[in-house]
């Protein structure tokens, strides 16, 4: 980038740079983000009547395109430039247009000065740098392979096998000897004492099973294999045993990454899984729509069901029915004594439709019962996580009769609990962030002190740093969740370098090229969410009841608004009422377009109807705002707001009823990490308009199986929806085309079967990697513990002291 800057300075474009910088300096904004920069440059080019060639091809235009942020400081400009994904350079541009490169530390000082939080005479601020802990681990080189960690790891491991076969085959042999299930030896027994003996016995066993009928049940020849040194775990039939042994034989003779993954994915080593979802109202009925309770609960429940089913299938295929192996999945959450009619005060609850998946609720220690016996906001939950983890460890050991094989954290608090549990129990840890708040709240780290009373970001971001670096592997729903797009910074990427003024500087917060990152999108629960056209699976009485609820029922306690013409095409959305979900933005978008109101009604399913019924500050603000918008744009007769909590059955049918009327679904979030409601709508057959900020970019192919919207541009969003509606009125087949492509998209990519098969494969491969690499993570874990005890815990204690007086 320095060459590009010099190319501008050393050419005729220098005068344009000087003029543009001058106009920037006269702006009110002193901190410009990419959209601000591009908008200012477009205005400059328009004002000075620049040619299309200049706008498209000049070096200055290229420089502006790559500039992510501009800070004004004492007449100088600080340019943060992102020449490519997961890469950043910083330059100071002086008043006389000299450019000097700044270090990360200098950039963080600039940001501190910008918010008047820089005190050079009070000593240096704590710097956090995780890069040294990644220097001795394999790293991905090409940014396009970020999120394909396991593929890279398999190639790396197989190349090691190839380079030093003796050492790595010994490691593989030692790994195979490890596996047991509740005291019963799996895979190989004491008759096989060396790698060479293993290789010989594999060939002997292959000759033996090759003579059997491929469908011969394992129990018929179990003891013959046992005499050769092979215990249960190779397969449930002669054919399956032969396949597994052949893969291992090939791996020993000519290792490659596909063979390695195929073999490791078959090793029976995961039987007991804990999913941590600590905050919110976690239950199967009566919880959706409550504060902090939405897509994450749906995700974790569906994942638990699918994991249990996949574990059972894998166990049977491995031939472990002879040992009566019973996989178990536990969802760990908090118990809420004042449960408001839900089952959140019940210690143990079986997950519907499963044999051995359970919700285990562990109570918080009392401290102040006024707090701990009630729901606690995710922004206030931090003081209770350590003791919750300690108490949960005892409960989990009791329920599982030992340790789990895998702990999966969900959201920041769940990931921190997963770290504490995995550290104590010496178990593989997987993180799923769902959404990192740092990306959702603009400048949240820079102005954290101003926001601390409400959001406690110092605790949240510290917990994020601890958990993401501790995890053995991380699952994201999309690539851009990790490193964004060429135009935007990813959620994890935002943790690479940032300041919490007067608390600490993060010089290198996460290694984005680490193979720990894997993109594994979730699926849709096809029991509840399926196409509107599958009439044989729909219940007529449910359909009629939901149709009445949506369009005609009058019930002031849970419905606001009566439609003048219920036959108009419905625009529908369903989400929590919080600022980020932006349902008020959709209402305003609808209100600003009289043309859209002529063609459509707007129907929202969202939270509570009354401020006094909500205990969540943000929800209360959004309720008030929604009423103001309804009155301001006189939406009475065209707008309907349902403050209802829906069962999953009703939630699925509501999409289908909207589809019956050829309606559309709009997801207007200011930011969406992934978007389960988008998948639910699409699989139901609803043409879907979704935010262009976040995960929907990877779900939807714009104008092919859905549409992108910029939720901050209300008039433009209204025009896009109106354009679609107009096309549908002119050509009724257009709605069906988009509807069909939406369904096809989900079925091809977003099923829970695909998700859990991949997740379990990852768990096994990272377990193998941890064993064979002998990677010493103790130094990293000690560093993270120091961060926990010296930064996180004292701040959590301060918040707890505030809670004691509430």
Question: Are 475 and 611 found together in one domain?
Answer: no
Question: Are 773 and 716 found together in one domain?
Answer: no
Question: Are 468 and 552 found together in one domain?
Answer: no
Q: Is residue 49 part of a domain?
A: yes
> pLDDT band at residue 408, thresholds of 50, 70 and 90?
very high
Question: Are 780 and 644 found together in one domain?
Answer: no
Question: Are 542 and 585 found together in one domain?
Answer: yes
How many CB atoms neighbour CB 273 within 10 A?
A: 27
Q: Is residue 322 part of a domain?
A: yes
| Domain final residue, candidates 71, 102, 133 | 102
Question: Are 649 and 688 found together in one domain?
Answer: yes
Q: Which of 454, 469, 455 is nearest to 423 (CA)?
A: 469
Q: Is residue 117 part of a domain?
A: no
- Scanning 165-237, the segments in alpha helix (DSSP H) are 165-178, 195-210, 218-227
pLDDT at 713: 93
Q: Is residue 226 part of a domain?
A: yes
What's the gap between Cα 413 and its chain centre?
A: 14
717-723-724 Cα angle (round to 5): 95
Q: Which of 591, 584, 681 is nearest to 637 (CA)?
A: 591
Q: Is residue 255 part of a domain?
A: yes
> What are the pLDDT digits (tens) for 324-374?
999 999 999 999 999 999 999 999 999 999 999 999 999 999 999 999 999
In the predicted structure, residue 159 carries a pLDDT above the cut 90? no
Question: Are 245 and 318 found together in one domain?
Answer: no
Lowest mean pLDDT among 76-90, 285-299, 507-521, 531-545: 285-299
> What are the pLDDT digits (tens) for 622-632?
999 999 999 99
**CATH code, 767:** 3.40.50.2000
Domain count of the chain?
4
Question: Are 597 and 744 found together in one domain?
Answer: yes
Lowest mean pLDDT among 97-101, 163-167, 477-481, 537-541: 163-167
> What are the pLDDT digits (tens) for 765-790?
999 988 887 667 899 999 999 999 99
Average pLDDT in the chain: 93
> What are the pLDDT digits (tens) for 509-553?
999 999 999 999 988 888 899 999 999 999 999 999 999 999 999
Question: Are 306 and 248 found together in one domain?
Answer: no
Q: Which two tokens stand for residue 795?
A: 């701040």
> pLDDT band at residue 600, thresholds of 50, 70 and 90?
very high
C-alpha to C-alpha distance for 679 and 685, rounded to whole angstroms: 10
C-alpha to C-alpha distance for 709 and 701, rounded to whole angstroms: 12
In the predicted structure, residue 254 carries a pLDDT above the cut 90? no
Q: Is 443 exposed, middle or buried (0-12, 13-18, 19+ CB in 10 A)?
A: middle
The H or E element that residue 185 is part of is strand 184-185
| Phi-psi sector, 706: left (phi>0), alpha (psi -120 to 50), beta | left
**CATH code, 219:** 1.20.120.1230
Q: Which two tokens stand for residue 14?
A: 């220098």
Residue 802 Cα distances to 280, 380, 457, angstroms: 20, 10, 16
DSSP string, 312-380: HHHHHHTTGGGGT---EEEEEEEE-SS-TTSSTT-SEEEPTT-SSEEEEEEEPP-SSHHHHTS---TTT
C-alpha to C-alpha distance for 482 and 144, rounded to whole angstroms: 11
Q: Is residue 671 part of a domain?
A: yes
Q: Which two tokens stand for residue 422?
A: 């995995």
Question: Are 765 and 701 found together in one domain?
Answer: no
pLDDT at 774: 67
C-alpha to C-alpha distance for 369 and 384, rounded to whole angstroms: 13
In sequence order, the 6+-apart residues with CB closer than 8 A to the CB of 200 are: none
Judge contact between 432 and 410, C-beta under 8 A: yes
Domain of 637 in residue numbering reads as 535-750
Q: Is residue 468 part of a domain?
A: yes
Residue 100 Cα distances to 5, 15, 95, 238, angstroms: 10, 19, 12, 69
Higher-confidence residue of 618 and 226: namely 226
Q: Which two tokens stand for residue 186?
A: 């799996």
Question: Are 662 and 732 found together in one domain?
Answer: yes
In the predicted structure, residue 307 carries a pLDDT above the cut 90? yes
C-alpha to C-alpha distance for 692 and 697, rounded to whole angstroms: 6
pLDDT at 1: 67
Share of the chain above pLDDT 70, in %: 99
Lowest mean pLDDT among 152-161, 222-231, 240-249, 687-696: 152-161
In the predicted structure, residue 78 carries a pLDDT above the cut 80? yes
Q: Is residue 505 part of a domain?
A: no
**CATH code, 56:** 3.10.450.330
Structure-token match 């053995």, residue found: 472
pLDDT at 423: 95
pLDDT at 722: 96
Q: Which of 386, 381, 392 is nearest to 359 (CA)?
A: 392
Question: What's the sign of the alpha-carbon dihedral 678, 646, 294, 308?
Answer: negative
In the predicted structure, residue 602 carries a pLDDT above the cut 80? yes
In the predicted structure, residue 162 carries a pLDDT above the cut 80? no
């Amino acid at each position: 980038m320095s060459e590009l800057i010099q190319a501008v300075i050393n050419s005729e474009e220098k005068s344009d740079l000087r003029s543009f910088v001058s106009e920037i300096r006269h702006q009110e904004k002193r901190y410009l983000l990419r959209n601000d920069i591009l908008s200012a440059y477009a205005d400059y080019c328009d004002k000075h009547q620049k040619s299309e060639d200049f706008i498209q091809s000049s070096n200055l235009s290229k420089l502006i395109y790559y500039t992510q942020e501009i800070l004004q400081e004492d007449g100088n400009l600080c340019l943060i430039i992102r020449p490519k994904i997961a890469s950043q350079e910083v330059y100071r541009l002086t008043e006389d247009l000299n450019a000097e490169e700044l270090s990360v530390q200098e950039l963080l000082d600039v940001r501190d000065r910008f918010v008047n939080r820089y005190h050079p005479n009070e000593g240096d601020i704590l710097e956090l740098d995780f890069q040294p802990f990644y220097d001795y681990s394999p790293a991905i080189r090409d940014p396009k392979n970020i999120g394909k960690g396991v593929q890279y790891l398999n190639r790396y491991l197989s190349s090691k096998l190839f380079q030093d076969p003796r050492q790595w085959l010994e490691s593989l042999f030692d790994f195979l000897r490890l596996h047991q299930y509740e005291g019963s030896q799996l895979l190989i027994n004491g008759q096989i004492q060396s790698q060479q003996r293993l290789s010989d016995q594999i060939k002997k066993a292959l000759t033996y099973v090759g003579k059997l009928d491929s469908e011969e049940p394992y129990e018929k020849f179990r003891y013959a294999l046992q005499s050769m040194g092979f215990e249960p775990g190779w397969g449930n039939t002669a054919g399956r045993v032969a396949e597994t042994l052949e893969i291992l034989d090939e791996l020993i003779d000519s290792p490659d990454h596909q063979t390695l993954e195929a073999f490791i994915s078959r090793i029976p080593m995961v039987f007991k899984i804990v999913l941590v979802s600590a905050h919110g109202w976690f239950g199967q009925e009566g919880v959706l729509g409550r504060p902090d309770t939405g897509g994450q609960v749906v995700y974790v429940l569906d994942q638990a069901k699918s994991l249990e089913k996949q574990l059972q299938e894998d166990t049977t295929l491995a031939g472990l029915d002879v040992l009566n192996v019973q996989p178990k999945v536990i969802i760990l959450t908090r118990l809420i004594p004042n449960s408001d009619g839900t089952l959140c005060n019940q210690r143990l609850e079986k997950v519907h439709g499963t044999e051995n998946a359970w919700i285990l609720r562990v109570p918080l220690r009392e401290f102040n019962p006024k707090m701990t016996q009630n729901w606690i906001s995710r922004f206030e939950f931090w003081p209770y996580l350590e003791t919750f983890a300690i108490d949960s460890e005892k409960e989990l050991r009791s329920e599982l009769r030992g340790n789990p094989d895998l702990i999966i954290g969900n959201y920041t608090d769940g990931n921190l609990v997963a770290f504490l549990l995995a550290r104590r129990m010496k178990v593989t840890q997987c993180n799923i962030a769902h959404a990192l708040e740092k990306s959702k709240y603009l400048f949240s780290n820079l102005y954290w002190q101003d926001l601390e009373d409400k959001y406690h970001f110092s605790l949240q971001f510290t917990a994020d740093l601890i958990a993401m670096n501790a995890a053995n592997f991380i699952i994201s729903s999309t690539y851009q969740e990790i490193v964004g797009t060429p135009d935007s910074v990813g959620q994890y990427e935002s943790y690479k370098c940032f300041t919490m003024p007067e608390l600490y500087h993060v010089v290198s917060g996460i290694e984005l090229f680490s193979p720990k990152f894997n993109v594994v999108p979730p699926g849709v629960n096809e029991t509840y969410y399926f196409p509107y056209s599958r009439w044989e699976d729909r219940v007529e009485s449910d359909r009629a009841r939901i149709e009445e609820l949506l369009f005609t029922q009058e019930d002031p306690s849970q419905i606001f608004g009566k439609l003048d013409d219920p036959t108009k095409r419905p625009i529908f959305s369903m989400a929590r009422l919080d600022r980020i979900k932006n349902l008020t933005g959709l209402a305003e978008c609808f209100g600003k377009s009289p043309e859209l109101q002529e063609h459509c009604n707007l129907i929202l399913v969202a939270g509570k109807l009354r401020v006094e019924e909500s205990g969540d500050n943000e929800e209360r603000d959004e309720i008030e705002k929604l009423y103001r918008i309804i009155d301001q744009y006189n939406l009475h007769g065209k707008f309907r707001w349902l403050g209802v909590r829906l069962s999953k059955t009703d939630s699925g049918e509501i999409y289908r009823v909207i589809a019956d009327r050829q309606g559309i679904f709009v997801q207007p979030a200011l930011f969406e990490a992934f978007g389960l409601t988008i998948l639910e709508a699409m699989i139901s057959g609803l043409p879907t308009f979704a935010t262009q900020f976040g995960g929907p970019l990877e779900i939807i192919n714009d104008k092919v199986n859905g549409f992108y919207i910029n939720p901050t541009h209300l008039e433009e969003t209204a025009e896009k929806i109106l354009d679609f509606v107009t096309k549908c009125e002119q050509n009724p087949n257009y709605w069906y085309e988009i509807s069909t492509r939406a369904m096809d998209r989900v079925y091809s990519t977003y099923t829970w079967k695909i998700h859990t098969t991949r997740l379990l494969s990852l768990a096994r491969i990272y377990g193998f990697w941890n064993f064979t690499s002998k990677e010493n993570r103790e130094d990293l874990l000690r560093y993270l513990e120091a961060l926990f005890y010296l930064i996180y815990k004292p701040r959590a204690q301060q918040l707890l002291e505030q809670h004691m007086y509430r």
